[in-house]
């Protein structure tokens, strides 16, 4: 299992990028899946930095059943992104909320996303099925 402990600030997206691409290569994901994993990780981390009030966050990656799993753990306020509604693209762009877009990308670019609250921490786990 690979693990990355992070400070809660946006500058960490640089380390998150390196971690995501390294994990993707190690798992044998194709280039496109590596790109998508990078995006998912950046959006998840940016949401924690911008909205959670957390003081610590970490990423873990592991492989199981032909899938790559990644979990994002933070000690911020309880927040379940799986319950967050899909953005409404029918409303005028000026009135759209950009805040929910990150969750939308995580949902669309992964094969599953699950949430749990464990020991006072948010744990978001995503799964990407490896393409042969």
Partner 1 sequence: MEIKITENNDRLVAMLSGELDNIASIAAKKALAPLLEQNDHDVVVDCADLTYISSSGLRLFINIYNHQHSIGRRSIIAHVKDNVKDVFEIGGFLMLFELED
Q: How far is the CB of 42 from partner 1 (least distance, A)?
A: 5
Contacting range for partner 1; rule: CB under 8 A; set: 52-60, 66-74, 88-96, 124-132: 88-96
CA 63 remoteness from chain centre: 16
Among 1, 11, 85, 97, binds partner 1 (CB under 8 A): 11
Alpha helices in the chain (DSSP H): 13-26, 31-47, 101-109
Q: Does 74 engage in binding with partner 1 (CB under 8 A)?
A: no
CB 127 within 8 A of CB 67: yes
What tokens appear for 13 in the block?
């997206």
Q: Which is nearer to partner 1, 63 or 109 (CB)?
A: 109
Q: Does 10 engage in binding with partner 1 (CB under 8 A)?
A: yes
Q: How far is the CB of 119 from partner 1 (least distance, A)?
A: 28
Rounded Cα gap, residues 92 and 89, in angstroms: 8
Sequence-distant (6+) residues with CB within 8 A of 79 are 51, 52, 122
| Number of residues this chain uses to bind partner 1 (CB under 8 A) | 25
- DSSP, collapsed to helix, strand or coil, labels residue 71 as strand
What tokens appear for 2 in the block?
């690979």
Q: Does 46 engage in binding with partner 1 (CB under 8 A)?
A: yes
List interacting residues with partner 1 (CB under 8 A).
Answer: 10-11, 13-14, 17, 32, 35-36, 38-39, 42-43, 46, 87, 89, 93-94, 96, 98, 101-102, 104-105, 108-109
């Amino acid at each position: 299992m690979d693990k990355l402990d992070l400070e809660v600030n946006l500058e960490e997206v640089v380390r998150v990028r390196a971690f995501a691409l390294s994990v993707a290569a190690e798992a044998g994901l194709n280039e496109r899946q590596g790109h998508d994993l990078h995006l998912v990780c950046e959006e998840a981390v940016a949401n924690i930095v911008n909205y959670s009030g957390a003081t610590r966050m970490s990423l873990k990656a592991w492989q199981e059943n032909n899938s790559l799993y990644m979990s994002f753990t933070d000690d911020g306020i309880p927040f379940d992104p799986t319950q967050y509604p899909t953005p409404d693209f029918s409303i005028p762009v000026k009135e759209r909320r950009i805040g929910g877009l990150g969750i939308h990308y995580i949902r669309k670019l992964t094969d599953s996303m699950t949430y749990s609250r464990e020991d006072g921490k948010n744990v978001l786990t995503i799964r990407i099925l490896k393409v042969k």
